[in-house]
């Protein structure tokens, strides 16, 4: 199915419906924290929203929604899941540091299955939930952009790094466009001092996903998913064509965060951009 991806101006309000919605948009990881947020907010972006997860999803919320349970590690099931969709927002997978064997199934095989299905079924655009943990071993006093060599901080970060390589390959080889969003910390509120720098509000996430779906000619773009916090470590000028203009800042939470007990200067959460993830493992010794 051919669908033209069109952008509305970047100054448009984040929740605006696009001028030409997608026919059928697949949202993986729809039962998760961000999946539940985007399940609501992506509805105006497509005539049909197909929501998927390995965890319970509840009933479809109306004729505009399709509920499609699926294990991303199951290649045949993912192939069927993607059939009929013109774009995918891929949030599904393990979202924390875990032993390699678990990450391998859900994240590494999962993203391969997704791109293979996208190729087979003519999907034009993927929005991939990458993570700041692909660059987690940069120190907090460094400023980097999307071209900085990756420094994953664990098997989880490695899987996201692999996902970004997958995205680049499927663009170069098959012309499937992807925006890889290196999400910082997307929760209702920042939870600690590090997140004052890494926080991405749900409103800004929604705007960024919208721009990632509808901006024409993105090829494979890597963008940092971070709000307009007073201090950020990431430079998004290489992704300026997305027109992402974050509206929120963590600053209004500063007083409550700074009331928390101080963090020791040698604590990884005070040293590295990836925070505590840099000190996890080894597993299974
Ligand atoms: P989450 O853990 O709440 O949601 C992930 C969902 O993926 C879960 O509902 C889970 O059941 C599903 N899933 C796991 N294994 C699966 C499998 N084998 N097959 C199908 N579904 C499977 O994570 P959250 O916070 O909603 O994050 C969404 C995405 O964004 C994840 O890919 C995560 O890595 C990424 N991300 C999130 C950040 C955040 O701050 N929330 C920061 C950086 C990246
Ligand atoms: C992530 O990649 C995780 O999915 C999320 O749960 C947070 O830990 C976030 O990074 C973060 O770095 O704060």
Query: Per-residue DSSP letters for 53-112?
Result: -SS---S--STTEEE----TT-HHHHHHHHTT-SEEEE--S--S---HHHHIIIIIIHHH
At 166-182, the pLDDT tens digits run 999 999 999 999 999 99
Mean pLDDT of 134-158: 98
Q: Does the pLDDT of residue 11 top 50, yes or no?
A: no
Residue nearest to atom 11 of ligand 1 (CA): 55
CATH number of this structure's domain 2-279: 3.40.50.720
C-beta separation of 170 from 115 below 8 A: yes
Cβ(198) – ligand 2 distance below 6 Å: yes
Cβ(131) – ligand 2 distance below 6 Å: yes
What pLDDT band is residue 4 in, cutting at 50, 70 and 90? very low
| Catalytic site includes residue 156 | yes
At 66-124, the pLDDT tens digits run 999 999 999 999 999 999 999 999 999 999 999 999 999 999 999 999 999 999 999 99
At 240-258, the pLDDT tens digits run 999 999 999 999 999 999 9
State residue 10's pLDDT score: 36
Q: Indicate the DSSP class of residue 184.
A: -
């Amino acid at each position: 199915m051919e669908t033209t991806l069109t952008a509305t101006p970047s100054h448009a309000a984040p929740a605006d419906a696009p001028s030409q919605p997608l026919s059928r948009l697949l949202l993986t990881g729809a039962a998760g924290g961000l999946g539940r947020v985007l399940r609501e907010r992506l509805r105006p972006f497509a005539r049909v929203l197909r929501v998927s997860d390995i965890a319970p999803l509840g009933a479809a919320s109306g004729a505009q929604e399709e509920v499609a349970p699926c294990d991303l590690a199951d290649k045949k099931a993912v192939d069927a899941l993607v059939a009929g969709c013109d774009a995918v927002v891929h949030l599904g997978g393990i979202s924390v540091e875990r032993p390699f064997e678990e990450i391998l199934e859900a994240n590494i095989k999962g993203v391969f299955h997704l791109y293979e299905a996208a190729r087979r079924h003519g999907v034009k655009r993927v929005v991939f939930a990458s993570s700041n943990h692909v660059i987690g071993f940069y120190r907090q006093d460094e400023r980097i952009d999307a071209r900085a060599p990756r420094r994953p901080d664990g098997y989880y970060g490695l899987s996201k790094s692999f996902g970004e390589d997958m995205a680049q390959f499927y663009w170069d080889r098959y012309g499937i466009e992807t925006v890889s969003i290196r999400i910082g910390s997307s929760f209702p509120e920042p939870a600690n001092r590090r997140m004052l720098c890494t926080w991405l509000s749900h409103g800004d996430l929604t705007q960024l996903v919208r721009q990632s779906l509808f901006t024409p000619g993105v090829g494979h773009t890597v963008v940092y998913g971070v709000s307009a916090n007073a201090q950020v470590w990431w430079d998004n000028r290489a992704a300026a064509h997305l027109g992402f203009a974050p509206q929120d800042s963590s600053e209004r939470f500063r007083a409550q965060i700074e009331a928390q007990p101080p963090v020791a200067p040698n604590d990884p959460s005070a040293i590295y951009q990836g925070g505590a993830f840099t000190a996890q493992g080894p597993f299974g010794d």
